[in-house]
Amino acid sequence: MQTWFEVKVKYVKVDQDGRERKVGESYLVDAVSFTDAEARIIQQMQQMIRGEFHIDNIKKSNIIEIFPAESGEFWYKARIAIVTIDEKAGKEKKVNNYFLVAADDFKEAFQRLEDGLSYILVPYHTTAMSLSNIVDVFPYFQEETPEQLPPHLKRIEPQPEPMPVSAFDEESQEEEEDAAEEAYGETTDEDFGDDEGASSEPEV
């Protein structure tokens, strides 16, 4: 499950008239910790802003899922109430969940929310939807998602595979061995003598 952090960044922005003004913008960052969220937003801001900036605030967001869209100009925050049954009390219980939807207007945001929640099998109601102050969202992509390992395990880096030996290399090695045997002679047990049954008396 993703953990979202809302980060507020302040910097000097140049408007269309060339005038400078201080602004504060909020971003939603997918991160594993506050430190990770800070590092990620700094990396993103360095690519977007030429001048100086500073992080004004970082807090955990109650957003549990986002529904992005290429055509969505704004981000809308929606609250839905999922209806469950409290078995002990025997009554219905409503659990609130929050989502962020990219859309051009409220009607489109509501439709995209309904489409995105089509996987939910229990009854739910959309109880609120408002225009969010979130400027942009930075999710983790699959290739950059850090894999969390238990503390008792150690990451093992993959080792390079050995180079395959071709048939030509094997033939060359056999030819070199044959040439060495011809140059130095083939050594057998007879060259070292057979101690077993040998006489210790000198020949006369």
Distances (CA, A) of 28 to 71, 88, 148, 184: 18, 38, 22, 77
> Is residue 172 in some structural domain?
no
> Is residue 193 in some structural domain?
no
Domain count, the chain: 1
Which of 114, 23, 43 has its CA nearest to residue 76? Answer: 114
Kindly tell me if the per-residue pLDDT of 19 is higher than 90: no
**Structural contact between residues 130 and 76, judged by C-beta atoms closer than 8 angstroms:** yes
Kindly tell me if the per-residue pLDDT of 165 is higher than 80: no
**Structural contact between residues 136 and 101, judged by C-beta atoms closer than 8 angstroms:** no
> Is residue 81 in some structural domain?
yes
> Is residue 87 in some structural domain?
yes
Kindly tell me if the per-residue pLDDT of 74 is higher than 80: yes
pLDDT band at 196 (very low <50, low <70, confident <90, very high): very low
What is the rounded distance in angstroms from the CA atom of residue 8 to the CA atom of residue 55? 6
> Is residue 160 in some structural domain?
no
What is the rounded distance in angstroms from the CA atom of residue 102 to the CA atom of residue 75? 5
> For all residues of the chain together, what is the average pLDDT?
80
The alpha helices in the chain, defined as continuous H runs, are: 34-48, 106-116, 167-184
pTM exceeds 0.75: no
Give the phi and the psi of residue 118 in degrees, each rounded to 5: -65, -15
Residue 49 in tokens:
């802003």
> Is residue 184 in some structural domain?
no
Domain housing 138: 4-144
pLDDT band at 191 (very low <50, low <70, confident <90, very high): very low
5: exposed, middle or buried (C-beta count within 10 Å: 0-12, 13-18, 19+)? buried
> Is residue 158 in some structural domain?
no
Residue 9 in tokens:
């960044």
pLDDT in tens, 141-158: 755 544 454 454 444 444
> Is residue 179 in some structural domain?
no
